[in-house]
Structure 1
Amino acid sequence: MYETTYHRPASVDEAASLFAKSSEAKYLSGGHTLVPVMKQRLASPSDVIDLGKLKELIGIEASGDVIAIKAATTHYDVATSVAVQKAIPALAGLAAQIGDPAVRHRGTIGGSLANNDPAADYPAAVLALAATIKTNRRVVSADEFFKGLFSTALADGEIITAVSFPVVAKAGYAKFPHPASRFALTGVFVAKTRAGDVRVAATGASPNGVMRVGAIEAALKANWSAAALDNVEIAANGLLDDIHGSADYRANLIRVMAQRAVASAV
């Protein structure tokens, strides 16, 4: 690893100030991406600013029809939260499937979204549930937040502070995990709002990251059932094609995982 200066700020404002004063700073949350790439000498930040212990970034709040999860809340805390389990059980179930126990006790929702790995789980939930991402500067809708492979709408130095999820009528998530990393080879989150609208997002299938799946949305809006997807065809063109699975294989996984997600939806 290269030499770097480690900071543990006392507030989000202090963290942002430290970032602005540094020549090439990086924020640290769970550390599952930044630390490995530093060890591999693929990143050499002048300063590492640790957000993981900021109390103002930790916690879950249920208010009316919204569940707000602060950015440094761990996957474990989301998975075991009674409030999340009651309001959006599919979201708690998704968090319980991330990585292994060590990853879930350390990794955070804010870190996952800021990194925007194309096979990460949370982006599928955020996009399908039409969540809003709150930062220290503004509020960004899910549709505007994800910009592509490891790319988001976050400006340089901007910090995610919380994610707000509207409570929906039904939601479900299913993924086919990579046996080693537990990342989603393909994962699909389905959501039906109380007004009857349907949103479906797939992760792990596209080289550009999380994506909406219009064909499945249309089928489920007409008939919310797993059987309604039996004859839905997902185009393989543009999907990931690598040693873990061909584009055709992932296209089929999108449909199958969507059916499993619908079957599990409560």
Structure 2
Amino acid sequence: MLHAAEAKSLCQVAEHACQEEEVSRTYVVAQAQAMTAGIHTQAIGVLNIKVLVTIILDLVSLNYSKWRNLFLNTLGRYDLSDHVLTDVEVDADDVHWHRIDYTVRSWLYDTISTELLKVVMTPVSTACTIWIGLEDQLIGNKETRALHLDTQFHTFVQGDLSISYYCHKLKGMADALGDLDELVQDRTLVLSVLRGLNDKFANMVALLKCRKPFPSFINVCSDLLLEKLTMASKLGPSSTVLIATVPSLSAVAAPVRASALSTMVQHLLLATAPRVLQHQ
């Protein structure tokens, strides 16, 4: 009898512990849901998504990778990544989910070009189907796109482009190749930058390619921009002298205006003098 009583007592203790654990788990879930609901309310209140996603996605700018990272970062901030990364069947009566999905859809529409909007927007679109449609447009048919872009990347030269735009353009091509599963190593990117520089930077090419350890893309861009500023500063004094020796338009025009005004006054006096004499 004693053993039976002890066993019953132990069962009651275990049952009570399970009930407490279940209550605790329910409380944690409720807290998480309340927190998520609060975050979603903040997302609905975002009036201008372009403040958070500062890039407009289009077909020609090679900016898909940057746009995608910014957009996913914003979705993660509001716990909404599943709306574009997970295609699930949702109950039509789930008002909250649909309201949030409308919000994500509006963010997508506001951060893509008109051309892309016409392609991916349909009456039955969800945020996920729009996301997949954008992927198909920007990185679909990867092999063909990679072939053309790789050729462009390895033949691109600076020419008359500014050094900042030249580096930006090559980096965009490298990122776009990465989106097509053709990852461009940082060393390869640097070599492409050095290969395409114009003759003004010939000395920098000689210095940078021999540097140990081999510089990163960020370091090369910094060095090239600094060299550009150095070139500009060397041209500064001659430009200042030229500006100082060329008279301004206002300085030339002032005597002309004064002379013209004097002539006009003289003509006016001669024209009115006879009338004054007649009255006298």
TM-score category of the 2 structures, normalised to the smaller one = under 0.3
Q: TM-score if structure 1 supplies the norm length?
A: 0.22
Greater strand proportion: 1
Q: TM-score if structure 2 supplies the norm length?
A: 0.21
